[in-house]
A and B are shown apart, each in its own frame.
Chain A
Amino acid sequence: MNRARGPWADEHAIVVDLGFGDAGKGVNVDLLCARGRYGAVVRANGGAQAAHNVVTPDGRHHTFAQFGSGTLAPGGPVPTHLSHLAVVDPFALAAEARHLSELGIADPFALVTVDRRALLSTPWHQAANRARERARGTDRHGSCGMGVGETMAYALAHPQDAPTAGDCAHPARLRRKLRLLADHLAQVAGSGQEGAGGEGAEEPPNLEECVAAYAAFAQRVRLVDEDHLAHLLAAAPVVFEGAQGVLLDEWHRFHPYTTWSTTTTANPLALLAEAGRPGQARRIGVVRTYTTRHGAGPLVAEDPALGAVLPEPHNGTHPWQGPFRVGHFDLVAHRYALAATGGVDSLAVTHADAPDRVRAATGAGPLWCTAYTDPADAPLVIAPRAVPDLVHQERATAALMAARPVLEAIPDEPVAAIGDALGLPVEAVFSGPTREDARVPSRVRPSSAAGAARGRAPSPQTTVR
Chain B
Amino acid sequence: MGSSNWSTDAYHARAAYNAAAGSSSFAYTDDVASTMPRSTWRTHETLDPKDVAVRESRDSDAHPESLAVSVLFDVTGSMGRVPRLLQRKLPDLFGLLLRKGYVEHPQILFGGIGDATCDRAPLQVGQFESGNELEDDLGNILLEGGGGGQVTESYELAMYFMARHTAMDCLDKRGRKGYLFVIGDEKAYGAVKAREVREVIGDDLGENIAFPAILAELQRRFEVFFIMPTGSAHFRNKDVRGFWDTHLGQNVIYLDDLDAVSETIAVTIGMGEEAVDLAQGLEDIASAGSDAGDVVGKALRPLSRARGSIVVSESPDGLGGAAAGGVDRL
Nearest to B139 among chain A residues (CB) is A1
Q: With A220-B20, A225-B99 known to touch, is A206 a contact of B10 (CB < 8 Å)?
A: yes
Name the segment of A88-96, A405-413, A451-459 touching the other chain: A88-96
Choice from B18, B20, B92 contacting A225 with Cβ under 8 Å: B92
Given contacts A39-B132, A51-B2, A95-B7, contact A213 B23 (CB under 8 A): no
CB-based contact B23/A106 at 8 Å: yes
- A220 touching B17 in the complex, CB below 8 Å, given contacts A116-B289, A166-B289, A235-B131: yes
B91 at the interface (CB under 8 A from A): yes
Residue from B17, B95, B139 in contact with A109 in the complex, judged by beta carbons closer than 8 Å: B17
A321 touches B91 (CB 8 A): no
Look across to chain A and name the residue whose beta carbon is closest to the beta carbon of B9.
Answer: A91
Q: Known: A225-B95, A234-B131. Is A217-B13 also a contact (CB below 8 A)? A: yes
- Closest Cβ of chain A to B84, distance in Å, is 10
Residue A318 at the chain B interface, CB threshold 8 Å: yes
The number of residues on chain B lying at the interface, defined by a beta carbon within 8 Å of a beta carbon of chain A, is: 41
CB within 8 A of B2: which of A95, A202, A210, A318?
A318
In the bound complex, residues from chain B placing their C-beta under 8 Å from that of A1 are: 25, 27, 135-136, 139
B237 on the A face (CB < 8 A): no
- Indicate whether B288 reaches chain A with its CB closer than 8 angstroms: yes
Interface residue tally on A, bucketed by range: 35 or more
A43-59 contacts to B, CB under 8 A, are 48-51
Task: Give B246-266 as 1s and 0s: 1 = Cβ < 8 Å from A's Cβ atoms.
Answer: 000000000000000000000
CA A123 – CA B24 in complex, angstroms? Answer: 28
Chain B CB count within 10 A is highest, among A93, A96, A202, A222, for A222
- Interface assignment of B314: CB less than 8 Å from any CB of chain A: no
The verdict on A370 contacting chain B, using a C-beta distance below 8 Å, is: no
Report A322 CB to chain B, min CB distance, Å: 11
Provide the bound-state CA to CA distance between A206 and B12, in Å. 13
Q: Is A35 an interface position by the 8 A CB rule? A: no
CA distance A59 to B211 in the complex (A): 59
Q: Mark A30-68, 1 if CB is under 8 A from B, else 0.
A: 000000000100000000111100000000000101000
Alpha-carbon separation in the docked complex, A202 to B5 (Å): 13
Find the residue from A50, A212, A220 having the highest chain B CB count within 10 A: A220
In the complex, the answer to whether B2 meets A107 with C-beta atoms within 8 Å is: no
B287 at the interface (CB under 8 A from A): no
Give A221 to B5 CA distance when docked, in angstroms.
Answer: 21
Contact of A91 among B13, B21, B136 (CB under 8 A): B13
User: How far is B131's CA from A234's CA once the two chains are assembled, in angstroms?
Assistant: 8
Q: Which residues of A contact B24 (CB under 8 A)?
A: 107, 110
A128 to B: closest C-beta gap in Å: 13
The answer on a CB contact under 8 Å between A224 and B6 is no
Q: Which of A110, A202, A205, A222 contacts B91 (CB 8 A)?
A: A222
| Cβ-defined contact, B27 with A231, below 8 A | no
**Number of residue pairs spanning A and B whose beta carbons lie under 8 angstroms apart:** 150
Residue contact B1 to A51, C-beta cutoff 8 Å: yes
Q: Choose from B8, B11, B12, B27 the contact partner of A3 (Cβ within 8 Å).
A: B27
A213 contacts B11, C-beta separation under 8 Å: yes
> Most B CB atoms within 10 A — which of A97, A126, A225?
A225
Q: How far is the CB of A363 from chain B (nearest CB, A)?
A: 33
Contact B8 A202 (CB under 8 A): yes
The reply to whether A216 and B6 form a contact with Cβ atoms under 8 Å apart is no
How long is the Cα–Cα vector from A123 to B7 in the complex, in angstroms? Answer: 7
A2 at the interface (CB under 8 A from B): yes
Q: Which of A173, A228, A320, A321 makes the CB contact (< 8 A) with B95?
A: A228
Any A CB within 8 A of the CB of B60: no
Given A231-B94, A231-B132, is A216 in contact with B2 using a C-beta cutoff of 8 Å?
no
Residue of A49, A89, A110 near B1 (CB, 8 A) is A49
User: Using Cβ atoms and an 8 Å threshold, which residues of chain B touch A106?
Assistant: 23, 27, 30
* Residue A199 interfacial (CB < 8 Å): no
Contacts known (A1-B27, A3-B27); A222 close to B88, Cβ less than 8 A: yes
User: Quick check: is A244 within 8 A (CB to CB) of the other chain?
Assistant: yes
Q: By CB atoms of chain A within 10 A, which of B2, B23, B133, B135 has the most?
A: B2
Question: Which of A21, A202, A235, A318 has the most CB atoms of chain B within a 10 A radius of its CB?
Answer: A235
Chain A contacts for B25, CB-based, 8 A: 1, 107, 110
A98 interfacial by beta-carbon distance below 8 Å: yes
Q: Kindly identify which residue among A65, A97, A231 contacts B4, using a CB–CB cutoff of 8 Å.
A: A65
The smallest beta-carbon distance between A248 and chain B, in angstroms, is 9
CB proximity of B290 to chain A, nearest CB, Å: 9
Chain B residues with CB below 8 A from A210, complex form: 8, 10
| Contact yes or no, B139 A209, CB < 8 A | no
Chain B residues whose CB sits within 8 angstroms of the CB of A98 once the complex forms: 16
B3 within 8 A of A: yes
A433 at the binding interface (Cβ < 8 Å): no
Collect the chain B residues with CB atoms within 8 Å of residue A107's CB. Answer: 20, 23-25, 27, 30
Does B98 lie at the interface of the complex (its beta carbon under 8 Å from any beta carbon of A)? Answer: yes
Q: Does B305 contact A (CB under 8 A)?
A: no
**Distance between A259 CB and nearest chain B CB, rounded to angstroms:** 9
- A228 to B94: give the CA distance in the assembly, Å: 9
Residues on B facing A (Cβ under 8 Å): 1-14, 16-18, 20-21, 23-25, 27, 30, 88, 91-92, 94-96, 98-99, 131-133, 135-136, 139, 288-289, 291
In the complex, 24 of the A-B residue pairs with CB atoms within 8 angstroms, ordered by the A residue number, are A1-B25, A39-B132, A50-B1, A91-B12, A91-B13, A93-B13, A110-B27, A123-B10, A126-B6, A126-B8, A170-B291, A205-B8, A210-B10, A212-B10, A213-B13, A216-B21, A220-B20, A222-B91, A225-B99, A225-B288, A226-B95, A231-B131, A318-B2, A321-B2
Please list the 4 inter-chain residue pairs (A to B) with the smallest Cβ-Cβ separation, ordered nearest first. Answer: A144-B2, A110-B25, A216-B17, A213-B10
